Amino acid sequence: MSKVKSAIITALVVIAIIVAAVFGTVSFNVGAAQRYNSIAARIPLGSEFSGYVYTTVYPEGVISANEYDALEEEDKSAYEQHGGVYVSFEECDYADIASLSAAVAADADILSARLGDRGLTDYSVAVRDDVTIFVALPSGYSYAAYKGNDSTERSEALSAASSSIAYLVADGELTLRTTDSSITTDEDSGTSIDMTRNKDEYTDADILGTGEQTYPFVSANEDISSYFSSVTAYAFGGSNVLSFNLTEYGRERMSYVSTLAASSESQTIYVCVGDTQVLSINCTSTIDSDNMQFALSTLSAAKDTAAVLSSVVAGNALSVAYNAPDSVSSSTATGGENAALMAFIASIVVLAALCAAAVIKYKKLGGVLAISFVILALAMLYTLFLLSIQVTFEVLAVCAGALILLAAANLVVLGEVRAQCKTGKTMQAAVKAAYKRTLWSVIDIHVIVLAAAILMAAVCQGAAAACGLILVVGTLVSYVLYWFTRFMWYVLSSPQRNKFAFGGFKREVYGDDE
């Protein structure tokens, strides 16, 4: 390869990296009113970097100290203090603290499982004062949102977290409801079904927020959860899909329910958990299929709905009636106000140290290694952004692991090149032989790490699954970059006149050579 070709290829690679790095890491104002937030500033952050969104969920009949203080004196007598809260057994379905706290503890376990199924990377659930549940989710702000440079994203993230909490704490059983008090199934014969016959405890509740009454399509004695075998959420082709798999019995019953809904005036099936509406299905014809799929506005909403419905379908409905959380609070980052910025600077320092060590040890060749490290770091950055993986301590550790994998693979090769140089080969021959001799070792370590990463991504939940996913990408990129290093080695060393010394390596000089 000629010097010109080598220089052009090297320059193109470096320019591409600089452009990707600038857009990836530098935020700047565009004109007076607009701002470009870098990729790094738009990645969702975990709780240690952006704080928690939290609330306390109170069962009916349990109130906070503030609410107790606001009561009239005669109303206070119905309450007794328990820890930091007040309980009135006249207003809850339990006779004593022991039975209420046992039910709340069981519900907290279910809630924790729902949050795990929801795929959150980091959350906490605690039973507070034996009778309430404290729930905290990562706020999921990006750095730009956390620092107030992206108010839209901040309000969207807060709204998504609040909505997640509101959905996931839905108590009660699954019902399919309609606002029509009677449905005419056959207009010719005038056959009409009186839906008020199915009236239940939620009929008068303002489920839809419009003040309208709602009636179950089927008797309250019928177990709706037996209609479904599973409920999942996924994104596909730009749509956020909520998918129900129906049982044989469920298919038959949904056919009946959807026929009624299609004949009704509203032509809608409201899917509710207790008095919380989680989905509304516009139904204009009979549904007769093993699978039902619906597009929701956001993936977050689809995941929330799937998590709560899966839990109820599996027979894990919350048994205590809870008051809907009034509001949620958003705390500062648990790692300190500037934790995200400091973690970012630390990442840059680690990367710079690795690059510097490579350049010092291997001169120009170290530059190639440094380019590989920077490309891997940028690939991780863009992957975190594209897959919306929340950056947590664990994710950073795995990114460091991927960087170490690339460094280890290259070290193995470089060690072998040094050994080959000592046998008196030219640089080109030594490099060729080294890559050949170490190929299987490098493939071995990438294959086993890739297998572990795929298993983590597929089997695990929450933080561990996110770590697995990022490690899958990191391992694949590391292997590609291993060959990129080989290519750049060729590009940079080809124009060299001295074929026996390059990048800190030198052929062993024998007596007869001198």
Q: SS3 of 251, please? A: helix
Per DSSP bridges, beta strands 85-87 and 239-246 are unpaired
Query: Residue from 127, 193, 218, 321 that binds another protein (CB under 8 A)?
Result: 127
Position among 35, 69, 295, 324 found at the interface with another protein (CB under 8 A): 69
DSSP string, 268-325: EEEEEETTEEEEEEE-SS---SSEEEEEES-HHHHHHHHHHHHHHHTT----S-BPPP
**336 forms part of the interface with another protein (CB under 8 A):** yes
Strands 34-36 and 228-236: what pairing?
unpaired
Footprint of another protein on 91-120 (CB under 8 A): 105, 108-109, 111-113, 115-116
CB of 345 to another protein, least distance (A): 6
Q: From the list 45, 129, 142, 472, which residue makes contact with another protein (rule: CB under 8 A)? A: 129
For residue 137, state whether it binds another protein (rule: CB under 8 A).
Answer: no
Who contacts 398 (Cβ-Cβ below 8 Å, separation ≥6)? 467, 470, 471, 474
Shortest reach from residue 209's CB to another protein, in Å: 19
* Nearer CB in complex with another protein: 296/402: 402
Asked whether position 495 contacts another protein by CB under 8 A, the answer is no
What are the beta bridge partners of residue 134? 56, 126
Give burial (CB, 10 Å; 0-12/13-18/19+) of 442.
buried
Nearer to another protein, 64 or 230 (CB): 64
Q: Of 29 and 423, which CB lies nearer to another protein in the complex structure? A: 423
Count other Cβ atoms within 10 Å, centred on residue 249. 11
Between 138 and 367, CB nearer to another protein: 138
Of the residues 63, 125, 307, 430, which one makes contact with another protein according to CB under 8 A:
125
66 vs 219, beta carbon nearer another protein = 66
Q: Find the shortest distance in angstroms from Cβ 449 to another protein.
A: 6
Per the CB < 8 A criterion, the answer to whether 361 and 368 are in contact is no
| SS3 at position 176 | strand
Closest to 373 measured CA to CA, from 405, 397, 414, 343: 405
CB of residue 488 to another protein, shortest distance in Å: 21
Span from 71-79, 122-130, 364-372, 383-391 in contact with another protein (CB under 8 A) = 122-130
Phi and psi torsions of 155, nearest 5°: -70, -35
> What is the nearest approach in angstroms of another protein to the Cβ of residue 278?
22
Of residues 471 through 490, those in contact with another protein by CB under 8 A are 471
Euclidean distance between CA atoms 163 and 490, whole angstroms: 55
Query: Is 417 one of the binding residues for another protein (CB under 8 A)?
Result: no
Among the listed ranges 237-245, 289-297, 421-429, 451-459, the one in contact with another protein (CB under 8 A) is 451-459
Neighbours of 179 (CB within 10 A): 17
Residues within window 284-323 making contact with another protein, judged by CB under 8 A = none
User: Considering beta carbons, is residue 109 or 265 the nearer one to another protein?
Assistant: 109
Q: Which helix (H) or strand (E) holds 17?
A: helix 3-25
Q: Please state, in angstroms and rounded to a whole number, the distance separating the CA atoms of residues 117 and 452.
A: 21
**Tokens encoding 337:** 């106000």
Contacts of another protein in 381-400 (CB under 8 A): 393-394, 396-398, 400
Enclosing H/E stretch for 151 = helix 151-168
Q: Return the range that interacts with another protein (CB under 8 A); candidates 88-96, 243-251, 307-315, 337-345.
A: 337-345
What is the distance between the alpha carbons of residues 279 and 158, in angstroms, rounded to a whole number?
A: 21
List 412, 433, 476, 480, residue binding another protein (CB under 8 A): 412
User: What CA–CA distance (Å, rounded) separates 95 from 265?
Assistant: 43
When asked if residue 134 is in the footprint of another protein (CB under 8 A), the reply is yes
Phi/psi zone of residue 162: left (φ > 0), alpha (ψ -120 to 50 degrees), beta?
Answer: alpha
Q: Please give the backbone phi and psi of residue 103, each rounded to the nearest 5 degrees, phi first.
A: -70, -40
Q: Are 377 and 478 in contact (CB under 8 A)?
A: no
Measured from the CB of residue 435, what is the shortest distance to another protein in angstroms? 14
CB of 176 to another protein, least distance (A): 29
Tokens linked to 34: 């607009």
Nearer to another protein, 367 or 462 (CB): 462
The verdict on 44 binding another protein (CB under 8 A) reads no
Stretch that binds another protein, among 27-35, 148-156, 185-193, 405-413 (CB under 8 A): 405-413
Using CB under 8 A, which residues numbered 167 to 226 contact another protein?
none
Least spacing, CB of residue 35 vs another protein, in Å: 23
Q: Which of 8, 447, 501, 509 binds another protein (CB under 8 A)?
A: 447
CB of residue 495 to another protein, shortest distance in Å: 30
